[in-house]
Chain A
């Protein structure tokens, strides 16, 4: 089949000229289809948002009173003759891939995704297409995730050991997605689960949709003694902030795919790194692309040059497009960069 430009990349985002709709645009537009609630994909300032039903509370929480329309998974809808539908991406709650079809040609934009079923997000669903627009945050063969049960066992064990030493366990993870995934698998029989405000707020928004253990927000009134031996879920930005001083004595743990690197662990000055990511690992990316049966692959963010080069060796028509998506950030990177005089 002759390949068309059903979707193009311009300065505002991924654009469907025929439907006049943007996917996860990074500049304000009239019509935006949003894959999920992370801030590099769901930005403010668009006139009309369209997303999966379960994302609506997240978007409203983050972006305020926006005009947003919800659709269900696999629900086909037409815009100017182009057929769209959303399919689970397994990245975080509500995260979707966008399928775009016109005259028998199918494009899929994955947004962020992972093929592992984490028990929180609706599992990733492989969608057949001609062209796949994929992320490749962890697109080098150094990344292979362990099954999450193993990692959560490590986390609970770590919490137990810290508790025995009368220390508080502080676990860093994104407030949307990672935090709820952690919460889901913490063992509340070990102790109390505390939260930082950013985590608590987002979790409150999501509780109607998820079954999560109870959490206790740390406020000014919370006494250090009360927290001791418990586990605290905090956003990565809380690391090294004055807020954390209240938790002394504590041990820190960071949940991120980057923790696969020894250097990243040490640079982050974290006591313990737990390798757990909401993105595909290397085998996951390759498997998903193969299953889509796409002939053409466009890589948007991550190790795009290396990954697309390898895909070309495998026989795909693979290329790179620059976007403003960030994937899983290495927070330490941005902060140390600023330190350079």
Chain B
């Protein structure tokens, strides 16, 4: 635990990627096999289920700190993080435990089934055996996610340095369903566990936004085009009589889309299709908001199935007859995909039409039709491009319409008025900017307070209260965790604004739950939208 806590402390203390990778690599070099696999699991959000609820944790902490519960709660509101508050108020700063990370996690798994007095005894004695930072890390493991800015990519990089397995290969191995309790480090990194491979998705190939002039992309005949559909990017896997739907966020969502799971009877085994999960209402693509009514639900009722039916629109074919064909060209893959979809001929499985044009002007004209066709713009893919791993430049580009939207990070929140009294509904948003010493920070650029449903406001409000850093009267600064897509009507340079940019009628277009704060836009992105 000591080593893992030291690792987290080091990762938390720096914003520099190189340092994070170096710290991780060093840790992986020294950690035991079981600690390694657990560390990978935790950093890829595969925590054991929560053994004790937070209400109990607060009570245990207040009791151990010999303070009234209200005083603990008030302190927690100021500190803004439960694990941190607990770590701070418990009166012990001596590290007395030499248990390893994996030993502790195995105890936590068993703890869930124990009686309440046993839970209390265990948690309190652990708190008293750990020093401040280890106690913080332990409580995070008990209670919630680890948001310490370690992307899968970063961890893969570090692991690759240590194991000498290429990053792309590792990215694939770490995806999908595996459990640290039943998978060894060797198996995960070097072996092949048939059971786990049945549902395992491939890493998604992601495109960057187009940066150059169209003409610089060369001959238009070397390129194919698709509309960029505005749903959830997903992967449909049919293997050994089962069908799995994964999202780009490495989330298994098959249960949420029964109409897609039905396709198991139609798609041949050993097929993996990359595509977009889309609402399809009365023969037309619905809005992202329609889709959102499906995303949040745990159980899908008949009425919602009827109200917002879902289709899967296929972009690409990654596996055919059990063979990984990602290295074949886009054109070859599409030539296999298109007849396959036609053969399957099921209303829930559509093809995303592949387009070709004779000139770049025609491409630009097609893009203008995007809004009409309910797409976000065009995807441009080289005919000879392989299906690569992660976000890569060069072979694929996205060329979106409606440039006047931006993904921003919520930085401050203010309580609303009237109907919204006591809810944090008025938000201030920031964009990334690198300061003179090369560090990224969030610069405030707009306020917005409309565009979310009441339910979403309530959810955001709860998160704001949990992630509050400081209060200034009715305003709170929050730990940046939430990304929203903001839309606005006009944009111009401005001296009156700290960001140097004024936007007209900013409002929230949607809550990008699928994005981490690092994915939000930069101030330079915003400035690039200003008409020349």
Please judge, given known A-B contacts A248-B437, A306-B71, A339-B443, whether A262 and B12 are in contact too, CB under 8 Å. yes
Question: Does B65 lie within 8 Å of A141, measured CB to CB?
Answer: yes
A261 interface hit (Cβ, 8 Å): yes
Instruction: Establish whether residues B428 and A341, one from each chain, have CB atoms under 8 Å apart when the complex forms.
Output: yes
Q: Which residue of B lies closest to A339 (CB)?
A: B444
- Pick the contact of A310 from B71, B93, B472 — CB < 8 Å? B71
Pick from B47-55, B79-87, B191-199, B206-214 the stretch touching chain A. B79-87
Complex contact A340–B444 (CB within 8 A): yes
Residue contact A272 to B443, C-beta cutoff 8 Å: no
Q: Is the interface of B mostly helix, strand, loop or mixed?
A: mixed
Contact B89 A340 (CB under 8 A): no
User: Is there contact, CB below 8 Å, between B469 and A267?
Assistant: yes
B124 within 8 Å of A (CB atoms):
no
A262 to B13, CA, bound (A): 9
Of A260, A261, A271, the contact of B14 (CB 8 Å cutoff) = A271
CB distance from A50 to the nearest CB of B (A): 36
Residue of B nearest to A275 (CB): B132
CA of A307 to CA of B329, assembled, Å = 68
A310 to B483, CA, bound (A): 38
Cross-chain contact of A240 among B91, B435, B472 (Cβ < 8 A):
B435
Q: Which of B67, B74, B84, B446 contacts A341 (CB 8 A)?
A: B446
Given the known inter-chain contacts A245-B436, A261-B84, A263-B81, please indicate yes or no for A337 contacting B472, CB distance below 8 A: yes
**Min CB gap A237→B, angstroms:** 16
Q: Which of under 10, 10 to 19, 20 to 34, or 35 or more describes the interface residues of A?
A: 20 to 34
Q: Is the CB of A260 within 8 A of B88?
A: yes
> Which of A115-123, A142-150, A219-227 contacts its partner?
A142-150
Asked if B441 is an interface residue, CB under 8 A from chain A, the answer is yes
| Docked-complex contact A272 and B13, CB < 8 angstroms | yes
Report the minimum CB–CB distance from B158 to chain A (whole Å).
20
Whether A269 lies near B441 (C-beta < 8 A) is yes
A309-329 CB contacts (< 8 Å) to partner B:
309-310, 313
A141 and B67 within 8 A (CB): yes
CA distance A146 to B412 in the complex (A): 32
Residue B477 interfacial (CB < 8 Å) = yes
**Residues of B close to A143: CB separation below 8 A:** 88
Does A333 touch B at the CB level, under 8 Å?
Answer: yes
Contact (Cβ within 8 A) B469 A263: yes
- A/B pair count, beta carbons within 8 Å: 83
A341: chain B residues at CB < 8 Å are: 428, 444-447, 497-499
A117 to chain B, nearest CB (A): 20
A333-B81 Cα distance, complex, nearest whole Å:
18
CB of B81 within 8 A of CB of A262, answer yes
Q: How far is the CA of A262 from the CA of B87 in the complex (A)?
A: 12
B428-458 interface (Cβ within 8 A of A): 428, 435-437, 439, 441, 443-447
Q: Is B129 an interface residue (CB 8 A)?
A: no
Q: Which residues of A contact B479 (CB under 8 A)?
A: 263
- Chain B 148-173 against A: per-residue CB contact (8 Å), 1 yes, 0 no? 00000000000000000000000000
Chain B residues 190-229 with CB under 8 Å of chain A are none
Across the interface, do A141 and B89 meet the contact criterion of CB distance under 8 Å? yes
The smallest beta-carbon distance between A306 and chain B, in angstroms, is: 5
Instruction: List the B residue with the shortest CB-CB distance to A310.
Output: B71
**Contact yes or no, A340 B412, CB < 8 A:** yes
Answer whether residue A140 sits at the interface, using C-beta atoms and an 8 A cutoff. Answer: yes
Q: What 1/0 mask marks residues of chain B from 504 to 531 whose CB sits below 8 Å from any chain A CB?
A: 0000000000000000000000000000
- Say yes or no: is A303 at the interface (Cβ < 8 Å to chain B): yes
Q: Quick one: CB contact mask for A254-290 with B, threshold 8 Å, 1 for yes?
A: 0000001111110101011000000000000000000
Bound Cα distance A250, B412 (Å): 30
* Contact mask for chain A residues 240-253; partner B; CB cutoff 8 A; 1 contact, 0 none: 10001100101000
Pick the 10 closest A-B CB pairs, nearest first. Answer: A142-B88, A263-B469, A140-B75, A339-B444, A141-B89, A142-B75, A306-B74, A339-B498, A141-B67, A142-B79
Can you name 28 A-B residue pairings with CB atoms under 8 Å?
Answer: A141-B72, A141-B75, A141-B88, A144-B88, A240-B435, A245-B437, A250-B437, A260-B88, A262-B84, A263-B79, A265-B13, A267-B477, A269-B435, A269-B441, A271-B14, A272-B13, A303-B78, A306-B74, A310-B67, A310-B71, A330-B470, A333-B470, A337-B472, A340-B412, A341-B428, A341-B445, A341-B447, A341-B497
In the complex, given contacts A262-B81, A341-B444, what are 15 additional A-B residue pairs having Cβ atoms less than 8 angstroms apart?
A140-B74, A141-B89, A142-B75, A144-B91, A146-B93, A244-B437, A261-B79, A261-B469, A263-B80, A303-B78, A306-B74, A309-B71, A310-B68, A337-B472, A341-B446
Interface positions of A (Cβ within 8 A of B): 140-144, 146, 240, 244-245, 248, 250, 260-265, 267, 269, 271-272, 303, 306, 309-310, 313, 330, 333, 336-341
